[in-house]
Amino acid sequence: MTPDALIGLLAGPDRLRVVAALVLGARNVTEITEATRLDNRVVDRALRRLRTAGLVEAYGEVLVLREEVFTHLARVERPKEDPFLRDGRLLKLPAQRGRRREVLERVCVVFEPGRRYSEREVTDELRRCCEGGEVDHVTVRRYLVDEGLLDRADGHYWRSGGPVEVD
């Protein structure tokens, strides 16, 4: 299980209440139902999901929350947050040219190789990429052209560099 999977599992309010009841000492369906004031069917459905995910184990009628899952997931190394890109949005550009080139290569993938774009289309796409960030779309377009990731002629642009996915 991943940290995100655990969060998703506990995002259901009924499942969260069942887990809370187990943490507070409930050990069977009757005790969980009483502690949560949920309908028996709702508790059964929540327990089924929690058991399938490996968060709860049953030993006969006794239900046990596998607390070691939380301990393990707390130690899982999470990817470091990118200070330049988040959710497809360009937050800022690095000053160092090599690192800036890496970031620009990740930005240029919004343009499909082999397709020509009008200046308006490039502007619209880069505005979306730069929305909420510290850098403007004009600067990004200039850097993309300077780095050979976009080419321009006769008012049209096309992607001329950067990574290409191969199926």
Instruction: Output the pLDDT for position 166.
Output: 65
- Which residue, 100, 98, 52, 55, is CA-closest to 73? 55
What's residue 52's pLDDT?
93
Across the chain, how many H-helices and E-strands are there?
8, 7
> Does this model's pTM top 0.85?
no
Q: How many C-beta neighbours within 10 Å does residue 80 have?
A: 6
Q: What confidence score (pLDDT) does residue 81 get?
A: 81
Q: CATH topology for 3-75?
A: Arc Repressor Mutant, subunit A (1.10.10)
What's the pLDDT at 82? Answer: 86
CATH 1.10.10.10 residue spans of the chain: 3-75
pLDDT block averages, 10 residues each, the chain of length 167: 87 95 96 96 96 95 94 81 88 94 94 93 95 94 96 94 75
Distance of CA 30 to the CA centre of its chain: 37
